[in-house]
Structure 1
Amino acid sequence: MTQAPVQQLDQIFVMLKHWLVGYVPAAAQPVVSSLLSVVAILALFPALFAFTTVLERKGLGRMQNRYGPNRVGPFGLLQPLADGIKSLTKEDVVPRTADKAVHFMAPLLLVAASFLAYAVLPVGRNMAAVNLDAGVLYFFAVGAVAELAVFMAGWSSHNKYSLLGAMRAIAQMISYEVPLILSSLAVIMAAGSLSTVEIAGRQAGYSGIWPHWYVLTPWGLAGFLLFMIAATAETNRSPFDLPEGESEIIAGYYTEYSGFKFALFFLGEYLGMFAISGLGITLFLGGWSAPFSFLTWIPSWIWFFAKLLALIAVFIWMRGTLPRLRMDQLMNFAWKFMLPMALLVMVSAGVWRFLPHGVLRWIVCFVMIAVPYVLLGRGLLQGKKIGKRTYRFAE
């Protein structure tokens, strides 16, 4: 393959957009360009959501030695379409004492916040809808709207179980948002920028065949693991799906939701999972760059979505493998382990930056992370003695 066809294939969607924009008057081109980016996001990620639901149900069925969807369409691939039609035709039941306006707005706000987060994610070379200088800050600011939507859903339902589920969800999301942001700060310090486009671009170089990904450093690997654990809790995925503990609080903050409104909550959670996984790819896994220099001929957008699908597979694997935590375990893990480790990752990133290149900084950074990891982990597992009983994290 010559270089020109490789570049054309890599930038095919960018060239298609420029070609379409060229047919409109110059005054309207910025508006049309923005609309095309919005339409692409609105079409692509809901389609990925539909594919993921089939993949997850089939994957969990395989893990549990049972069949997944296999009746609607070939190999059950049209099951999401059938589920969507069922949600549209189900009766929309709203409690008589509920705040109907807030009850209606909560799922819409959650989905809107999830879609807005995609604006700053570079899904390929020159393929970010908006290149903001403070893209990471924008991402977390928009993500905080999800907490407001969850509280709106629980409070407006006028149901004690919904309110309890909302309080659980907000406590969990705020607790794990702290290590999520702190682990991201280490990358921001290393890159010297808040722009997601620039952060991804700084990892696009190679030393021989090896990439300059931040995850390939001791502090980067620890930060990535902390980021993904916190992301799992932020998106209410197993084993952190406490807000919807069926045996305790029925179905959490969406107990009083049915039909298409419930489907919007379902959509919002998956879109949030895709968005936060995309940010993790951008910060730690090189964004759209190839894992080895001899694979750069593959289009950058293929690499981004390949990494995204790999992280989705890990989320599905965790859901089918790990049991749900207790609420005290979840909060202890956030404040007694995740937070101190995230602070240490930040310090380790600074030490890595100022130590000379060589084996020394690898050893120093590894010791800085490994020793506290062992000490904090032992302290968390040993627990605290209350009366005649010792409560341990592993119970």
Structure 2
Amino acid sequence: MKKIALLIIFVMVMQVAWSQAEANYDESKVPDFELPDPLKTFNGKKIRNSKKWTKKGRQELLDFFTENVYGEVPGELKIASAQIVEQSENALNGKAKRRQVELTFKKGNRNLHFFILMYLPKSVEKAPVFLGYNFYGNHTITEDVNVIISEAWSRDNPSFGIINNQLTEQSRGVRTNRWAIEKMIDAGIGLATIYYGEVDPDKDDFTDGVHPFFYVDNQQQPAASEWGSISAWSWGLSRALDYFETYSEVDENKVIVFGHSRLGKTSLWAGASDERFAGVISNCSGCGGAALSKRKFGETVGRINSSFPHWFCKNFRNFNNNEEALPVDQHELLALIAPRPLYVASAEEDQWADPKGEFLSAFYASKVYDLFDKKGITSDKMPAVNEPIQNTVSYHIRTGKHDVTDFDWEQYINWAKEQVLK
């Protein structure tokens, strides 16, 4: 079985390598394109102030992204119960409180459970938090032996000891490098994280996770305009925020949603569609996240929809190899977060995610922030590597590859203290 798992991983890696080899990484081959103006409605009317943006411009963009990119949540499902299943007042060498909360959702004979792992600073009575998903289980972000191992389906990763789609003790702490928990705690900010596979397993299968709770009659998968997995994961982040509104140890008005890669796409959509999030961080989110689609650099709409057909709604496939037909682009997704603080980050070696396209998206979104007298990115010239621009709209490109590093977290923490928590 292990040989089979290794063979599957090898085939997947080769498929990704082939697709990336075929991608465009040459700026001279980026097609000529015209970006839609976020300060013009679809029928060409100018938006001249924040009131008009909020009432007209924002709503029609949100509707388009909902119906044609991420998909509509086809109903409402509230938390049936919330229970603290484990806690400690003496975590992280006495610096923090640890809480593990199980949220349960019920409909008919269906039940869904996901667990929020929280580390909260002892020094703050009602803590602001970074809220974000992890890829392989809450137990992977820390070596803390008290953190519960999820029983949910997981992508195999033999190097982490994950085979047969099951998480094990062997994978405890394998992703501590991506979560600077003690730096957060020292800054007076907590962390809340969820294993994304508990909300919706990351595979092209809509018979599991949260989707079937909303099916009618003999429906087997979402309709063309209904949610894919990114929208479902975003839904889960909003349900965590619902819980924080009832929980005295977290400041529900200071929850910053964070995500890396596909979960960076998720954090952006969560922040755009749920205005309760106080700030939004996108780390190496690429196509369908912060990067401009019309540049066709690195990963493209067609490639992402063929490789991961479950992430977006089916309507998004209308723009496969047809980005020029999109009446929107991702800078307008970022604009939906205005006037709340936004941080977009890239990595120099992560050309698949198109760092320049991510930066330009933040730049072009900034004109909407201007309506609210919030400072964004003021020049279309990319900053030097490892020299962040930190305003209400912030950006950095760091050395290294597609990952989350201490450098990233140091910038996010400083930005959060200056832009969100003041």
Smaller-chain TM-score bracket: under 0.3
Higher relative contact order by CA 8 Å / sep ≥ 6: 1 or 2? 1
Which protein has the bigger strand share?
2
For the pair shown, which has the larger CA radius of gyration, 1 or 2?
A: 1
Instruction: Please give the TM-score of this superposition, normalised by the length of structure 1.
Output: 0.27
Which protein has the bigger helix share?
1
Instruction: Please give the TM-score of this superposition, normalised by the length of structure 2.
Output: 0.26
